[in-house]
Structure 1
Amino acid sequence: MRFMRFAPGASGRSHTLFAVTRCLPFLVLAAVLSIELSPVHTLYTGPLLSPAPALAAVTMGPFGTGGVALLATAVSAITATHNNVWGSEMVYANLLALLVVALASVATSAVRVRRDRELAQIRRIAQVSQNVVLRPLPARIGVVNTASVYLAAERDAQIGGDLYEAMCTRYGVRLIVGDVRGKGLAAVRSAAAVVGAFREAVHYEQDLAEVMHRCAAALAREYELLDRSQLQDPQELAEQFVTVLLAQVSDESLVELINRGHPPPLVMRERKVRSLDPARPLPPLGLEEFLSPPPICVETFPFLPGDRLLLHTDGVVEARNHYNEFFPLHRTMETLDGATPGEYLDRLRHALVRHAEGRLADDAAMVLIERATGGARRPFR
């Protein structure tokens, strides 16, 4: 599985900016020393030494900031000796200003380092929480080859509610892809409840519809534990739901699907892509209190050797470019090549990144499976 913070190019730019910023204090010291020791020296640059520790505090720890302050003091002493200005009020005033700025910068750096460590710990906890519902998929599960990717929208530091899982059972390979409305810990709790129920039910429930019922029941129990007093709007509870797509691939060259309000999967055969839309749409999980959904019906579609099936969240199809155009997922899939699901999905990810131009509005998850067993091929009807 690929897990990344969108967009990939931002990381390289950040590292470059960090390196340049870290060099600034030394560039200032070198510039001051060069000017003061120049034989045509006409400008007193002592006051420029004070910002050096402050610049160092942006990227360095307390010891590094203190080291820059000592270097600035040494440069001030060297230039004062070279220019024979010891005893001048201006020299002592600059040294005093440098001392004050240095102490403040060291203290500021210590606070920043502590907060950076706390933030890193929070991010590690968030990563662990995210891995509960987005743990890596192996390259081969039963009769299918698999690949997955998760793109996190950089505009929002909160944990998203996308989820997916694939497991090999005695009934075949079973998969789930879902999307929880909202973000943060509440979304993770809902996603974890659904994924946990799926992981347990797929091994014991032969009927795929019963697996969906178990997921719905787990989500209902999670909502019962929700502290309604923390909701800002009573209607907010009615807006809590999870879109879910269940799939089962067995040895019969078929794929069984149950779709509860989720974007339909796309099947690709010989570079032709078709959407597997549900014949009877069902509402998302969590809305049973407000809607009376019809009985769950498992829909079956051909899934032959070499066929590929893409399951995704709405963050993929809702990605827009600066012309406000949605990502053309269907058309893009027909233009891409890839010998393996991993290669193909990697190229699809790159196409999505290029289209969104670094402005992915929502987290996006994609799972691609390819039937790997032998059998006859059949064109789309």
Structure 2
Amino acid sequence: MLALGIELSPAHAVVTGPILAAMPALASLTMGPKGTLAAAAGSLAVTVITAILHQSWGGQAYSNLLSLLVVSVASIVMSNTMRMRRQSELDQVRRVAMAAQRVVLPPVPARLGPVQMASMYRAAETGAQIGGDLYEAVHTRYGVRMIVGDVRGKGLPAVRLAAAVLGAFREAAHYDAELVEVTNHCAAALERQCAGRNAFDHGHEEERAEDFVTAVVAQVSDRSTVQVVNRGHPPPLVLRKGKVEALTPTSPLPPLGLEDLVTGTSVEAESYPFEPGDRLLLHTDGVIEARSPDGDFFPLHHAMEAAHQCTPSEFLEQLHHGLIRHTGGRLTDDAAMLLVERLPEGGEQGGQAAPMDDRD
């Protein structure tokens, strides 16, 4: 437009060929191949129009056209090469993210001991595969043990803290007889990770995650109960005969990493009834605090009761779809859910034994 304005003004004697030739090169930096082609076409049109208007066909006009042609072809090739390189790098990052998710947050087995399970995780950050929420379930000699937690922070620092807690849980769950001791090992691992990170990130406080994790650790054994240690996390929900009940702790405890706030001389796991056919939902606050455009919280209890006849995987899918509809497709926080259903005696569900997983 600048070159066209000059050519149509009394200052048309100014040579605008170099300006027009530079347009495709500048467009290739930000506009991609199509934008570069459009800029080249526009520059060509201005060159031809001005040559006709001023009857300036000659060596200079042909030189300008040749320069424009060479620069346009080179710019389109360069733009396409850069686009392919960026796409290749993006695909590589996505593959790495998916591999990291499978390592840090693998899907839980469909069957562990006396229960069948399903899990779901959705990161709020666009393009992210993992974030600050965590979950895991393992089959041990003490029963099926599971954890769901939420790191107070975002980004890679939160992922590092989540990985530290999960690593400690996976180790301690097999060796500590008491569920409280499993939780204490997770807290110790978090403390070590925070100490190391704070030393490494000295002077970069803006990159740090918060130094605590809300978590709930649960255990389902052959007895018709579920043991729970809740460290500042939203209480698990039990769906029994179509009705939802929250397993609210009688003695609230602070999150992992805030052990100085623990009061009393002893901490014990709390037991709740968990009969065959009952379903236990462990979740993060990204689920219950999800808001609609009008500011209403997601009605998790109602959604669970509406989906009580679905299989575990279908149950979580229905909750997820309801969550997306409720928020208008925009999650403001990571959301993780872990569903556990106690099987009847003999381990059968719907007349067919659930398949065992090699992680048992």
Distance in 2 (alpha carbons) for counterparts of 1:105 and 1:122: 26
Percent sequence identity over aligned pairs: 54
Aligned residue number for residue 25 of structure 1:
none
Counting matched residue pairs gives 314
2:145 corresponds in structure 1 to 174
Distance (whole Å) between structure 1 residues aligned to residue 133 and residue 217 of structure 2 = 14
Q: Residue 291 in 1 paired to residue 261 in 2?
A: yes
Helix, strand or coil at the partner of 2:333: coil
Q: Distance in 2 between matches of 1:239 and 1:291?
A: 16
Deviation (angstroms), 1:159: 4.3
Note the 1:295-306 alignment, pairs <5 A: 295-306=266-277
Q: Please tell me whether the aligned partners of residues 158 and 184 of structure 1 are also in contact (alpha carbons under 8 angstroms).
A: no
Seen in structure 2, the aligned counterparts of structure 1 residues 338 and 232 have a Cα distance that, compared at 3 Å, is: farther
User: Is contact 2:153–2:210 with CA below 8 Å preserved after alignment?
Assistant: no
1:223 aligns with 2:194: yes
Give the TM-score normalised by the residue count of structure 1.
0.72
Change (3 A) 1:249 1:158: closer
The match for 1:111 is: 82
Alignment of 1:112-131 (within 5 A): 112-131=83-102
Q: CA deviation at 1:334?
A: 1.4
- The structure 1 residue matched to 2:104, chosen from 114, 119, 133, is 133
2:329 is the alignment partner of 1:365? no
Mapped contact 1:58–1:109 kept (Cα < 8 A): no
Retained in 1: the 8 A contact 2:151–2:210?
A: no
* Alignment CA distance shift 1:211-1:112 (3 Å): same
The alpha carbon displacement at 1:297 in A equals 1.7
Shift of residue 117 of structure 1? 2.5
Q: Distance in 2 between matches of 1:286 and 1:324?
A: 31
CA shift at 1:330, angstroms?
A: 1.2
* Alpha-carbon separation, structure 2, partners of 1:319 and 1:339: 23
**Aligned equivalents of 1:101 and 1:58: distance in 2?**
13
- What's 1:203 paired with? 174
Q: Distance in 1 between matches of 2:144 and 2:108?
A: 12
CA distance in 2, matches of 1:222, 1:101: 53
TM-score (norm 2): 0.76
Task: Report matched runs for 1:234-245 at 5 Å.
Answer: 239-245=210-216
* C-alpha distance in 1 between matches for 2:287 and 2:88: 33
Using the alignment, how far apart are the partners of 1:224 and 1:101 within structure 2?
Answer: 55
Answer with 111-120 or 92-101: which moved more.
92-101
1:328-339 matches, cutoff 5 A: 328-339=299-310
Which residue identity lines up with residue 190 of structure 1 in the other structure?
A: L
Aligned to 1:306, what secondary structure does the other structure show?
coil
CA distance in 1, matches of 2:242, 2:313: 16
CA shift digits 1:243-280 (9 cap, x unpaired) = 11101001111000000011111100111001111111
- Report the 3-state secondary structure (helix = DSSP H, G, I; strand = E; otherwise coil) of the residue aligned with 1:226: helix
Partner Cα separation in structure 2 for residue 201 and residue 149 of structure 1: 24
SS in 1 for 2:226: strand
Helix, strand or coil for the counterpart of 1:227?
helix
- Report the alpha carbon displacement of residue 138 of structure 1 after superposing the two structures with TM: 1.4
Which amino acid letter does the alignment assign opposite residue 334 of structure 2?
D
Which amino acid letter does the alignment assign opposite residue 147 of structure 2?
I
User: Which residue of the partner structure matches residue 188 of structure 1?
Assistant: 159
In structure 1, the partner of 2:351 is none
User: Could you report, residue by residue, the CA deviation over 1:38-62 in whole angstroms, capped at 9, with x for unpaired residues?
Assistant: xxxxxxxxx9xx98xx79x9677xx
Unaligned runs of 5+ in 1: 1-46, 77-86, 376-381
Q: Does the 8 A contact of 2:201 with 2:208 survive in 1?
A: no
1:312-351 aligned at under 5 Å gives the runs 312-351=283-322
Structure 2 Cα separation of the partners of residues 113 and 349 of structure 1: 34
Tell me the distance in 2 between the aligned counterparts of 1:349 and 1:254.
Answer: 27
1:310 aligns with 2:281: yes
Please give the per-residue CA displacement for 1:332-381, whole angstroms capped at 9, x wherever unaligned: 21122443111111111110110011110011011111001239xxxxxx
Aligned match of 1:259: 230
SS of residue in 2 equivalent to 1:366: strand
CA 205–213 in structure 1, closer or farther in 2 if over 3 Å, else same: same
What letter is aligned with 1:116?
Q
Q: Structure 1 residues 301-310 or 93-102, which shifts more?
A: 93-102
Q: Secondary structure at the match of 1:248?
A: strand
Aligned 8 A contact 1:155 1:361 in 2? no
Distance in 2 separating the partners of 1:117 and 1:58: 18
Please give the alpha-carbon distance, in whole angstroms, between the structure 1 residues aligned to 2:150 and 2:292. Answer: 22
Shift of 1:240: 1.3
Q: Alpha carbon RMSD of aligned pairs, Å?
A: 3.7
Distance 1:270 1:292, change over 3 A: closer
Q: How has the CA–CA distance of structure 1 residues 106 and 338 changed in structure 2, closer, same or farther, with 3 Å as cutoff?
A: farther
Corresponding residue of 1:162: 133
User: Are residue 354 (structure 1) and residue 321 (structure 2) matched?
Assistant: no
1:90/1:323 Cα in 2 relative to 1: closer, same or farther (>3 Å)? farther
CA distance 1:101–1:338, change in 2 (3 Å): farther
Question: Relative to 1, partners in 2 of residues 1:142 and 1:234: Cα closer, same or farther, differing over 3 Å?
Answer: same
Shift of 1:156: 7.0
Paired with 1:324 and 1:232, the residues of 2 have a C-alpha distance of: 37
